[in-house]
């Protein structure tokens, strides 16, 4: 807050206490009036009513008659139970003179690091309004923290592996003509629109037959295994998505200190869970590996599925370990939807082990 404003508030409180004959009023009691025409600050006299055994409007009227104008205060008036103060124009001008690049900055976050993870758009899928909202919220949180003196680390965790990729790649194999067209195109938007079309086709076909479902699951396993049969198409289409997302981030004026990917967390995540099995932190259930959250008042969640692949939960554990190892922040903030609350409670509890 402006030094001038602080001094003005101190002056006003001193005048109120002098008129009362004792130190009762505090700077924190001063508020902005609901109607700016009433003044620059107002003091609600409800605070004094019980102690002075008078109605607050009576107290406001009596104080307004006692308090005189000065170099700081231009006028004092009572409006019902509120005691209003107008500052001198010269004093208000000094407030404007106080405004510079450091105006409103704080230092209580000095020497502390906070990591903010946001955006989290997936490759091979459309960028939608939810991602935009997440970026706006995440970047706003970063700027508020920076203004408070914290060293902020901006990171983005992007899903570049998983069933949504497999569905997209399966869809691509069913659209050979369109694939040939985009391969000959330099328009990144056209390529991403094609990926979205392929994903919709794959996603819509997944539950239509066991044969298609099996084919998509097989593609998913090949992606995890870096199978040569699918690796080239996977990396090429992944590159298209990342180029498109980078274009969006630049347009929004957002930069990240680190881009994390699920493709770099699934192996270490699986290793962490498998080590946890040996220590009885995780247990095998129906060919999958689960964390028994019900022991902790949470719900049970799968960390390695029946296909032997790490789930989001296991990847999240590896991500946390990676983030702590690389940046060692004092705090990590995940900008996510409220519906992910229970998910993060389970992952956090699993990380305690």
Query: pLDDT averaged over the chain?
Result: 94
Domains of the chain, residue spans: 3-98
Reported pTM: 0.77
Where helices occur in 21-86 by DSSP H, the ranges are 46-52, 56-66
What would the CATH number be for the domain defined by 3-98? Answer: 3.30.1360.70
Tokens matching residue 269: 């995540």
pLDDT tens string 147-196: 999 999 999 999 999 999 999 999 999 999 999 999 999 999 999 999 99
Residue 227 phi, psi dihedral angles, 5° rounding? -65, 135
* Rounded distance between C-alpha atoms, residue 232 and residue 187, angstroms: 20
pLDDT tens string 191-207: 999 999 999 999 999 98
pLDDT tens string 14-42: 999 999 999 999 999 999 998 989 999 99
Residue 102 has pLDDT above 90, yes or no: no
Burial of 339 (0-12, 13-18, 19+ CB in 10 A): exposed
* Rounded distance between C-alpha atoms, residue 64 and residue 85, angstroms: 9
pLDDT tens string 248-275: 999 999 999 999 999 999 999 999 999 9
Local confidence band at 1 (pLDDT 50, 70, 90 cut-offs): low
Local confidence band at 103 (pLDDT 50, 70, 90 cut-offs): confident
Give the DSSP H/E element, type plus range, for residue 195.
Answer: helix 188-205
Half-sphere exposure (CA, 13 Å, Cβ side) for 283? Answer: 7
Residue 161 phi, psi dihedral angles, 5° rounding? -155, 150
pLDDT tens string 284-332: 998 999 999 999 999 999 999 998 999 999 999 999 999 999 999 999 9
**Are the beta carbons of 162 and 169 closer than 8 angstroms?**
no
* Rounded distance between C-alpha atoms, residue 40 and residue 74, angstroms: 10
* Rounded distance between C-alpha atoms, residue 256 and residue 246, angstroms: 10
Amino acid 199: pLDDT: 96
Residue 2 has pLDDT above 80, yes or no: no
Amino acid 191: pLDDT: 97
Tokens matching residue 299: 């719900």
């Amino acid at each position: 807050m402006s030094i001038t404003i602080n001094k003005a508030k101190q002056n006003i409180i001193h005048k109120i206490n002098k008129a009362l004959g004792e130190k009762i009023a505090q700077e924190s009691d001063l508020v902005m009036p609901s109607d700016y025409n009433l003044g620059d600050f107002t003091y609600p006299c409800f605070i004094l009513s019980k102690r002075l055994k008078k109605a607050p409007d009576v107290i406001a009227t009596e104080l307004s008659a006692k308090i005189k104008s000065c170099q700081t205060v231009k006028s004092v008036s009572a409006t019902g139970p509120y005691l209003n103060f107008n500052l001198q124009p010269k004093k208000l001008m000094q407030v404007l003179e106080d405004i510079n690049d450091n105006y409103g900055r704080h230092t209580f976050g000095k020497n502390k690091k906070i990591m903010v993870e946001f955006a989290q758009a997936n490759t091979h899928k459309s960028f939608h309004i939810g991602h935009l909202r997440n970026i706006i919220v995440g970047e706003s949180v970063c700027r508020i923290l920076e203004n408070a003196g914290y060293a902020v680390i901006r990171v983005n965790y992007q899903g570049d592996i998983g069933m949504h990729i497999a569905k997209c790649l399966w869809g691509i194999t069913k659209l050979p003509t369109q694939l040939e067209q985009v391969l000959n195109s330099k328009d990144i938007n056209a390529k991403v629109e094609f990926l979205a079309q392929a994903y919709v086709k794959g996603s819509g076909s997944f539950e239509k037959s066991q044969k298609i479902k099996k084919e998509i699951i097989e593609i998913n396993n090949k992606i995890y295994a870096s199978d040569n049969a699918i690796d080239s198409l996977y990396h090429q289409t992944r590159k298209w998505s990342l180029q498109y997302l980078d274009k969006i981030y630049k347009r929004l004026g957002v930069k990240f200190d680190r881009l994390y990917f699920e493709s770099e967390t699934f192996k270490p995540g699986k290793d962490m869970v498998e080590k946890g099995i040996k220590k009885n932190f995780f247990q095998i259930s129906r060919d999958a590996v689960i964390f028994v959250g019900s022991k902790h008042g949470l719900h049970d969640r799968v960390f390695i599925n029946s296909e032997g692949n790490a789930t989001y939960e296991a990847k999240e554990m590896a991500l946390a370990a990676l983030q702590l190892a690389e940046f060692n922040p004092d705090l990590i903030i995940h900008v996510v939807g409220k519906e992910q609350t229970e998910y993060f409670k389970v992952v956090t509890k699993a990380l305690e082990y």
